[in-house]
Structure 1
Amino acid sequence: MTTQKTENPTSAPPAPPTTSPPASPPAPPTTSPPAPPITSPPVPPTTSPPAPPTTSPPASPPAPPTTSPPASPPAPPITSPPVPPTTSPPVPLTTFATVLPTTMSDTISTVLNKVWGGTHKDTYVLLSKIGPYKLFSSDFARICPGQELESEVINAYLHLMVNNYNRNHQEKARVIDSFEMSRIWLKKSSRLKIDPEKFKIIVGIVNESHHWMLVVIYPLEKRTVFLNSLGESQKDVKRCLEATRAFMRSKGMKVSRWKCETVTHAIQQDMVSCGVFALKFAECILENKDLNFPSTAEAVKTMRLDISSTLLSESESVENLCRHCGSEDKGHLWIACDRCNWWYHQDCINFKQTNTDYCCEMCL
């Protein structure tokens, strides 16, 4: 079709030359008649432009609407949307790009670059296991700047900190996961089996209306410390006192002189980093560090990076787990990614082909 269309405009000029002679009869008599039709028309290319506009508009407009518009409009919707996600999210990551390789292994750096960079933020691949908690790429995407932390990350990191504390101290600490701690906060009956007097410190993080707050219980001292990254109101301190007293009473402790207090600490500057601050508060208390740490945007980014890298580097082995579902079920056919050698259940990834190379989501 393209070849025929280019011939038509070429043959169109010859037609005018046939009719043009009448317009330029004086030229033929002056020069040889054969020459004008051959040379004179090529010279009128200068005058030919007017002729094409007369014939081209009808031919040209139809062509664009038929070929160009259909091809052009689809292109923007396909290329334009992907561009924003690829360029915008990486901005915070670029801040860390030069730091990652010097502070952690290349593998961890690569994973965070992919997940935080936006190219793999929607993938669902198992990356870490801390105790009973399994963390997928989507969980790590929620640790990056501008995002709210999920409960799985909160509980896994608390679990790590308490384990580290117990390895280095004779007196033990205990963690209450966010689900149970939130039940205690609401003064609901606790299903937790625990003897508080066996622990020097019990830590838990409460979630209320998408806001994370730290509760630290000292059973032997009969007191609770309550920390809210946005500041503590008297109402919340009183509520914390009543909730922890009720919990301690249900576990057989005398609570008549129980008290709840707070201490000075760094204040959250944004609206999404409450989980980061709650974890940092717990870390400072367990490690006896100053709670008035820097709270600038850059400092919070560094805290998020520390949480992510720690959860990746301290992970238990996941070699025997399906990277998609996190299960060890051996009743499935397995397949390994030909690039990273991570294993998946074929059913989980809906991979039915045999004798074919497979590339997982993280490696695409």
Structure 2
Amino acid sequence: MNVLQIMKSGGLHGRGIGRIGPYPLYMESFESLIENNEVSDEIMDALFHLFSRKRPDVLAINNQTLGHILEGDTRARSSYFTKKNMFENKTEVVGPFLEDGNHWTFFHCSIVDRAITYLNSLGETDEQYNKIAENWSTFAASKGYQGPWKRVLRKHSLQHDSISCGVFTAVFAEAILGGSGGYLTCSPIQEERERLGTLLFHSLDRSDICGICFHKVPRKNKASDANDNLNIRK
């Protein structure tokens, strides 16, 4: 019995079951990962957050923000959209890039080495790599980090279906953030789906989820907390 089956047997259908960092996850989130589906946005963001959270020098950017950056959206360069000092005390940046709204790819840069790594499980093209490098360079310069930025080429296995790009992208992220060098490979897809699902499930923060009914427990507001601390009763 895999993690998804365990959750379903526990009656968790349609409920929030916890979070990874700022990203809440639901039964449908895990279904997108463990079943033969396209992996959802929140799963990708949660995995990248999980892979990087023991590395305080790594900034994991969520897929929506990274999409604006790598697509050259001028809003991404404004201080309203992203903080001016977002790279402070960071040596690396990483994130999942959803290309054309339907294909996950991997982005990583070393701020120290001014180096960019872009991995596409269908294979990279010079045209797309150059576009990403150009848009990243423009964005980084707006934050005070001038180039030039060099391209890093990494050999890797390729997907042979139409829906496993998210799994490949997550595996690439885990390997690179873990310091893996050389050829990047992906184990059989269903094995990776179940492994990543198990990893996420056992890493969930359930501090605001009832352990009996799995409904979200409302947190006390500050006024209530203050009253409790002062032993004030209404």
TM-score normalised by the chain length of structure 2: 0.81
Q: Tell me the SS of whatever aligns to 1:270.
A: coil
**Kindly tell me: are residues 290 and 220 of structure 1, through their superposed partners in 2, closer, same or farther at Cα, counting changes over 3 Å?**
closer
Matched, 1:262 2:153: yes
- Partner SS state of residue 54, structure 2: helix
Return the alpha-carbon distance in structure 2 between the equivalents of residues 317 and 114 of structure 1. 16
Task: Judge conservation of contact 1:281–1:291 (CA < 8 Å) in 2.
Answer: no
CA distance in 2, matches of 1:162, 1:241: 22
Q: How does 1:47-126 map to 2 (within 5 A)?
A: 97=1, 100=2, 109=3, 112-114=4-6, 123-126=13-16
> What residue identity is the alignment partner of 1:211?
H
- Match for residue 304 of structure 1? 193
Q: Which has the higher contact order (CA 8 A, sep 6+)?
A: 2
Q: Which runs of 5+ in 1 are unaligned?
A: 1-96, 101-108, 167-171, 332-364
Cα pair distance change 1:277/1:137, threshold 3 Å: same
Query: 1:176 Cα deviation (Å)?
Result: 0.6
- Given residue 135 of structure 1, which amino acid in structure 2 is its aligned partner? L
Task: Return the structure number with greater helix share.
Answer: 1
Q: Tell me the amino acid that sits aligned with residue 66 of structure 2.
A: M
CA–CA separation in structure 2 for the residues paired with 1:330 and 1:224: 44
Q: CA RMSD in A?
A: 2.6
Q: Distance in 2 between matches of 1:266 and 1:184?
A: 26
How many residues align structurally? 212
**Does residue 1:278 correspond to 2:163, yes or no?**
no
User: 43, 52, 71: which is aligned to 1:186?
Assistant: 71
1:236 to 128, 134, 138: 128
Judged with a 3 Å threshold, the aligned counterparts in structure 2 of structure 1 residues 311 and 234 are, in CA distance, closer, same or farther, namely: same
**Whose radius of gyration is greater, 1 or 2?**
1
CA distance in 1, matches of 2:61, 2:169: 14
CA deviation after TM superposition for structure 1 residue 307, in Å: 1.3
* % identical aligned pairs: 25
Q: Is the contact made by 1:269 and 1:295 (CA closer than 8 Å) also made in structure 2?
A: no
| Cα distance change of structure 1 residues 245 and 201 upon mapping to structure 2, 3 Å threshold | same
2:46 to 156, 160, 171: 156
Q: Which amino acid aligns with 1:223?
A: A
1:328 is matched with which residue?
A: 218
Task: Report the Cα offset of residue 295 of structure 1.
Answer: 4.0
Moved over 6 A (4+): none
Answer whether contact 1:237 1:261 (CA < 8 A) is retained. Answer: no
Partner of 2:143: 251
Q: Unpaired segments of 5 or more residues in structure 2? A: 222-234
